Amino acid sequence: MDTDVIVVGAGPTGLMLACELALAGVRTRVFERRAEPQQDSRALTLHPRTLELMDLRGLAPRFLRLGRTLPGWHFAALDTPLDFAALDSRHAHTLFLAQARTEELLAERAHELGVEIHRGHALTALRADEDVVEAEVRGPDGAPRTLRAAYLVGCDGGRSFVRRAAGIDFPGTDETLTGVLGDFAAVAADPVALAAARDAGVLVVPLEGSLTRFVYVDPERMRTPSSVPVTLEEFRAALVRICGSDLGVDGPRWLSRFGNATRLAAAYRSGRVLLAGDAAHIHFPAAGQGLNTGLQDAMNLGWKLAAEVRGWAPPRLLDTYHAERHPVGRSVTENTEVQTLLAELPLVARYRRPAAALRGLFEDLLRIPEVNRRIAGQVSALGTAYPATDPDADPPAGRRMPDIGLSAAGSEATRVYELLHRGGFVLLRLAGVRDPHVEPYESPARHPYLSCVSARAAEDHPDLDGVREVLIRPDGHVAWATRSDDAGRRAIDRATALTAWMSPPAA
């Protein structure tokens, strides 16, 4: 084998996956057709669950240093915001950070972990059987080269070569609506004019380097195919129609048209070939969920694929990638279709009055705290829970593990997420806030990817009320938990859970 895993695509999803694999000791090579890192940033935000994932690996400070936090977010650009600050997380905010910066930080981490990133290399052929994947790659010199790997993951975007070569269907709907974005070096408008543009539905966002981004949907040109280039003249004329002024935009650095084509891969895995990110799902960029969903795909897949390569995956572990992430992809594509409908209907003359009433209804619903939290949990991905493998499992199983504070721990960690920086499982024995005594573990299992920690919870959490032991997956979700006071029963259930999630490593 030339390598263990080939990752196709050096965008955020591909780089995140490569980092996860390398952290587990998997030889990983990334191939990217672009010769240089992407400088333009379609995505601008990292949502709370994504920040939690970075925290799980000790990377959150790198991102927080460069970005700007926002306490809330939006759904369908409605006036009533989603209150992320009300969610149960240490990172209950959106981080405003350009995609180019996210890629830069992930590439930096990948290099630290020894990942080989080959830019200017395009995948031109793909063959896979039960034992190996063969990938033909053409580099800058134009000469083809064939590589062999145990697995290959397509993180190569919505037009994924990998997905097509693997014969994976991509059902969904074609675009019926397009929007336009532009990044400008010069803007002559005063704050009053910019406020009026926002009131008229134009998104105005200050970017790094004195750039300003404008995003709009022009009722007169919203059926223009996304393949049609955007000109400065078109951009100015559209602003005049929408808000009465071209806002003095000049010096465009990037002009782009984007559509609402919505598709979800029929399968995230075909044998030794897998998909993640936009290769698996595309949709209108409503609420900025695309990049975040891709990074969350990578975190779910990384440790499972590493377990398979390193020989400690129990049967069918890798199949749980599709089982867990495909429903999330469906949820995202469906909620973005709803948001697109709420944004599109007011632009169509015959629907303006009922559309206004519909948007008003959603505004009223979002003012109900429980409804707001439900939708905020979906958009932020903090509400993501995976099905428990055991129907009789304790309720925390499948949910995010809360990042509670710890004291008297068997390590230097002061909170749960610090226990997961190495990317393995954590078996945590807990004592309550009012119970100072914690019995140390007596090596319930020996495994290179398992840490056994005894600690006292420094804070209460409703999901952990009475929980005595919890097995935490590398991606921060609960694999198993018990509230039993019977030590013998706990030992039997613990052994069953450990066997279900990790087999002894191959020699």
Question: Which one-letter amino acid corresponds to residue 310?
Answer: R
> What is the average pLDDT across 397-415?
85
Residue 411 pLDDT grade (very low, low, confident, very high; cuts 50, 70, 90): low
Question: Which one-letter amino acid corresponds to residue 178?
Answer: T
Q: What is the pLDDT of residues 301-311, one digit of tens each?
A: 999 999 999 99
- Cβ-count burial 415-451 (b if 16+ within 10 Å, e if not): bbbbbbeebbbbbbbbbeeeeeebeebeebbebebbb
Quick one: pLDDT at residue 208? 86
Find out whether 211 and 253 touch, Cβ atoms under 8 Å.
yes
Provide the CB-side half-sphere exposure for 247 (13 A, CA). 32
| Domains contained in the chain, CATH given | 3-173+263-380 (3.50.50.60), 178-259 (3.30.70.2450), 406-501 (3.40.30.120)
| Measured distance CA(375)–CA(73) in Å, rounded | 11
Residue indicated by tokens 């030590």 = 487
> What is the average pLDDT across 361-385?
97
Q: What is the pLDDT of residues 32-69, one digit of tens each?
A: 999 999 888 999 999 999 999 999 999 999 999 999 99
| Measured distance CA(193)–CA(126) in Å, rounded | 53
Residue 256 has pLDDT above 80, yes or no: yes
What secondary structure does DSSP assign to 340-358, as a single string? HHHHHGGGSGGGHHHHHHH
Centroid of chain to Cα 479: 20
Q: Are strands 172-173 and 269-270 parallel, antiparallel or unpaired?
A: unpaired
> What is the average pLDDT across 400-412?
82
SS (H, E, C) 245-296: CCCCCEEEEEEEEEECCEEECCCCEECCEEECHHHCEECCCHHHCHHHHHHH
| Measured distance CA(173)–CA(159) in Å, rounded | 14
Find out whether 388 and 399 touch, Cβ atoms under 8 Å.
no
Give phi and psi for 174, each to the nearest 5: -75, 165
Quick one: pLDDT at residue 470? 96
Q: How far is CA 41 from CA 8, 243, 477, in A?
A: 20, 25, 30
Residue 431 contacts by C-beta under 8 Å, 6 or more apart in sequence? 437, 438, 455, 456, 457
What secondary structure does DSSP assign to 473-498, as a single string? -TTSBEEEEE----HHHHHHHHHHHH
- Cβ-count burial 69-84 (b if 16+ within 10 Å, e if not): beebbbbbebeebbbb
DSSP state of 507: -
279: nearest Cα among 2, 12, 46, 490: 12
Quick one: pLDDT at residue 339? 95
Longest dimension (CA), the chain: 75
Q: Is 322 helix (H, G, I), strand (E, B) or coil?
A: helix
Residue 108 pLDDT grade (very low, low, confident, very high; cuts 50, 70, 90): very high
Q: How far is CA 326 from CA 163, 293, 329, in A?
A: 15, 11, 5
Residues present in the chain in total: 507
Quick one: pLDDT at residue 436? 65
Quick one: pLDDT at residue 11? 97
- Burial class, 141, CB count within 10 angstroms (exposed 0-12 / middle 13-18 / buried 19+): exposed
Residue 507 has pLDDT above 60, yes or no: no
> What is the average pLDDT across 331-339?
97
| Measured distance CA(309)–CA(295) in Å, rounded | 21
- Burial class, 467, CB count within 10 angstroms (exposed 0-12 / middle 13-18 / buried 19+): buried
Q: Are strands 116-119 and 94-96 parallel, antiparallel or unpaired?
A: unpaired
Find out whether 12 and 288 touch, Cβ atoms under 8 Å.
no
What is the share, in percent, of the chain residues with pLDDT greater than 70? 97
Q: What is the pLDDT of residues 434-460, one digit of tens each?
A: 676 777 776 666 788 999 998 888 888
| Measured distance CA(31)–CA(23) in Å, rounded | 19
Q: What is the pLDDT of residues 160-219, one digit of tens each?
A: 999 999 999 999 999 999 999 999 999 998 899 999 999 998 999 999 888 999 999 999
- Residue 110: CB atoms within 10 A of its CB come to 24
Sign of CA dihedral 404, 409, 414, 415: negative
Centroid of chain to Cα 20: 14
